[in-house]
Amino acid sequence: MNLHLPDLPIQWSNFIKVIEKGKLATSFFNSLIYSAGSVILCVLFAALAAYVLSRNQTKLNKFLYMFIVLGITLPINYVALTRVLQFLHLNNTAVGIILLYTGTQLPFMTFLIHGFVAKVPVELDEAAVIDGCGPVHLFFLIVFPMLKPAIATSTVLTFLNTWNEFVSPLYFLNRTEQWPMTLSVYNFFGMYFKDWNLVCADILLTSLPVLIVYLLGQKYIVSGMTAGAVKG
């Protein structure tokens, strides 16, 4: 291996070979489904929970918030999780993986949005309630639009985290046609570890979505990752 620039013409055929041999199209769509599914579920439920638990700080709600946020530190017991998934018949299914991802991402995203809900003035809610707005309309029509920056941040972060996630598929997806991109690239590396041209092409294609999201959403990523770390 050396650091010469590649000779011209550039070998585009590597990418085509990798897409075919590494079954990248399938794993790309798998990753996309897993990430998109968990982004929607996680952001929606995290926003709902953060909103209620921040606005109505009863003793029970404070406890429930702590309980959810405690998940940031807790390890997942993957071994016992197989039992839960078996019981729910979700082993080796996309739904199982999506719910699992959602569960692991919820604590941090709830924490992130919770800090933001406090900044949305309560007077808005009061005005809406006086005008006869019900709780569901109040949240979706009045508060949710105000939470846009936090929603954007948690969307980007959940997408990145789930796209890069590798452990859960390793435990819970046995069939290659269900694998996300990270697992496929690792497997590909195992088979073609001598063909660095192919491995690098595979790595590049796998990282591309993440890099694009990073470049487009840099602002949101930084603000999300530093949320709660710095006193404003």
Contact set for another protein, span 49-88 (CB under 8 A): 49, 51-53, 55-56, 58, 60-61, 64, 66-84, 88
Please report, as residue ranges, which positions from 128 to 157 form the binding site for another protein (by CB under 8 A).
Answer: 129, 135, 138-139
Choice between 98 and 178, CB closer to another protein = 98
Choice between 2 and 5, CB closer to another protein = 2
Q: How far apart are CA 175 and CA 177, in angstroms?
A: 6
Segment lying near another protein (by CB under 8 A), choices 4-12, 13-21, 22-30, 218-226: 218-226
Q: Shortest distance, CB of residue 223 to another protein, whole angstroms?
A: 9
Long-range interactions of 41-46: CB distance < 8 A, separation 24+: 41/98, 41/99, 41/102, 42/101, 42/102, 42/105, 42/106, 42/109, 42/154, 42/158, 43/109, 43/151, 43/154, 43/155, 43/158, 45/102, 45/106, 46/105, 46/106, 46/109, 46/110, 46/112, 46/113, 46/154
Two tokens at 26?
């399938």
Choice between 9 and 51, CB closer to another protein = 51
Degrees, nearest 5: CA angle 175-176-182: 125
Please report, as residue ranges, which positions from 100 to 119 form the binding site for another protein (by CB under 8 A).
Answer: 100, 102-104, 106-107, 110-111, 114-115, 118-119
Choice between 1 and 9, CB closer to another protein = 1
Q: Shortest distance, CB of residue 25 to another protein, whole angstroms?
A: 19
Two tokens at 15?
């990418």
Two tokens at 109?
């995203």
Choice between 16 and 60, CB closer to another protein = 60
Indicate which single residue of 28, 34, 163, 220 sits in contact with another protein (rule: CB under 8 A): 163
